[in-house]
Amino acid sequence: MKDDIKAGMKYHVGMYGGSFNPMHNGHMECIIKAASMCEQLYVVISYRNDDSDIDVKIKYRWVYTLTQHIGNVKIILLEDKLKTKAEYTEKYWQEDCRKVREAVGQKIDVVFCGSDYDESSFWNVCYPESELYIFKRDEYNSTAIRADVYGHWDWLPMFVRPYYVKKVLIIGSESCGKSVLTINLAHHYHTNYLEEVGRKLSELSGTDEMMLTEDFTRILLEHKAKELRLAEHSNKVLIEDTDCLITRFFMDFLENGSEENIRLAESIAALNHYDLILHAEPDVAWVQDGDRSKAIEENRQLYSDRIEQLYERFGFRCVRITGSYVEKYEKAIELIDELFVPVS
- From-to residues of CATH 3.40.50.300 in the chain: 165-338
* Structure confidence by residue, pLDDT tens digits, 19-43: 999 999 999 999 999 999 999 999 9
What is the rounded average pLDDT of the residues 3-17?
Answer: 73
| Residue among 15, 26, 78 nearest 49 (CA) | 78
Q: What is the distance between the alpha carbons of residues 305 and 220, in angstroms, rounded to a whole number?
A: 22
| Residue among 191, 311, 298, 304 nearest 243 (CA) | 311
Q: What CATH number belongs to 3-155? A: 3.40.50.620
pLDDT at residue 118, as a whole number:
76
Q: What is the distance between the alpha carbons of residues 153 and 156, in angstroms, rounded to a whole number?
A: 6
pLDDT band at 2, cuts 50/70/90? very low
Buried b (16+ CB within 10 A) or exposed e, 297-306: beebeebbee
- From-to residues of CATH 3.40.50.620 in the chain: 3-155
Q: What is the distance between the alpha carbons of residues 57 and 61, in angstroms, rounded to a whole number?
A: 6
* Structure confidence by residue, pLDDT tens digits, 286-311: 777 666 677 777 788 898 999 999 99
Phi, psi for 272 (deg, rounded to 5): -75, 150
Strand-pair category, 131-135 with 237-241: unpaired
Residue 51 · residue 19 · CB < 8 Å = no
**Three-state SS at 278:** strand
pTM: 0.90
Q: What is the distance between the alpha carbons of residues 317 and 240, in angstroms, rounded to a whole number?
A: 16
Residue 281 · residue 177 · CB < 8 Å = no
Alpha helices by DSSP H, listed for the chain, are 3-7, 25-37, 56-67, 90-104, 122-125, 142-147, 178-188, 197-202, 213-231, 244-253, 259-271, 294-298, 300-313, 325-338
Hey, which residues does 56 pair with through a beta bridge? Answer: none
Please calculate the CA angle 215-220-222 and round it to the nearest 5 degrees: 90
* Structure confidence by residue, pLDDT tens digits, 106-131: 999 999 998 887 777 777 788 889 99
Q: CA dist 291 to 160, 175, 182, 238, 252, Å?
A: 42, 11, 21, 28, 17
- At what angle are helices 178-188 and 325-338 packed, to 10 degrees? 50
Residue 245 · residue 261 · CB < 8 Å = no
CATH class of the domain comprising 165-338: alpha beta
pLDDT at residue 240, as a whole number:
98
